Amino acid sequence: MKCPKHLGSFLIFIDNTLDYMVTLDLREVDPPHRHKLVLETFHKMKAGEELEVIADHYPAHLLQLVSGKIRKYEVKESEDGNFVLKLTKGEEESKAVIAHLSDYRQTGETFTPIPVIRKDEYGAILVFFKPGQYIPAHAPDSDLIFYVIEGKGKAQIGESQVEIDKGSIIIVPKGVKRGITAETYMEALHVVVPAPSPEDHEKVMEAAARGSKEVQLRS
């Protein structure tokens, strides 16, 4: 049985039929506060405990933030168009990751980053683009390795534009502006060292959602 606990304008449910399970319904939470709420809840959980998140879009960006710290997860779309993410927190340990592209393929309203693994030291992310979608130009404190698996487009590096297609590899040092625009459907492996902060990630995703081609990470 799930017992609701009111916390401001949203609900948290604790499922008493399990050892520990929390449900966060983010649909009524202001977007700038959603990831912070989930991350604060997640960090308080112990290994093996479960978290359910209800959202009005595919939670790709949230998965990127917790990747490397979860044992397993699944995402299901409901008949009303909402998405339910269920995840189990894992142990803080190093382990090998074996993945296949087909298990991650997903597209959305903006470019879609799906984490293979994310740690503070680095992140390996599969990125999927529909034609015309883009990563806004930005200059983070991370080195970038970007490998095009399929498709073609353009990359902005500093103030220059270069053509990219299947097999292209781009390496950009931290602090240098970078952005990607897909001309066709495109898939790429995106490795960043270190992983970006949640705040920087949010700024880039919000810029893409607004239709902005560039975003300033620092004032």
Residue 123 shares a structural domain with residue 80: no
The answer to whether 47 and 89 have CB atoms below 8 angstroms apart is yes
pLDDT tier at 189, thresholds 50, 70, 90:
very high
Predicted confidence at residue 131, as pLDDT, reads 98
Domain that holds residue 7: 2-89
The answer to whether 113 and 125 have CB atoms below 8 angstroms apart is yes
> What integer best gives the mean pLDDT of the chain?
86
Tell me: the pLDDT tens digits for 78-105? Answer: 889 899 999 999 876 667 778 888 888 8
pLDDT tier at 20, thresholds 50, 70, 90:
low
The burial of 41, by beta-carbon neighbours within 10 Å (0-12 exposed, 13-18 middle, 19 or more buried), is given as: middle
Q: Regarding predicted confidence, which is higher, 156 or 118?
A: 156
129 within a domain of the structure (yes/no): yes
> How many domains are there within the chain?
2
Q: Specify the CATH number for the domain of residue 127.
A: 2.60.120.10
Residue 132 shares a structural domain with residue 50: no
Of the three residues 41, 60, 89, the one that is the final residue of a domain is 89
Of the three residues 65, 89, 113, the one that is the final residue of a domain is 89
Tell me: the pLDDT tens digits for 119-140? Answer: 878 989 999 999 999 999 999 9
Residue 159 shares a structural domain with residue 179: yes
Neighbours of 23 (CB within 10 A): 18
Determine what percent of the chain is predicted with pLDDT higher than 90: 50
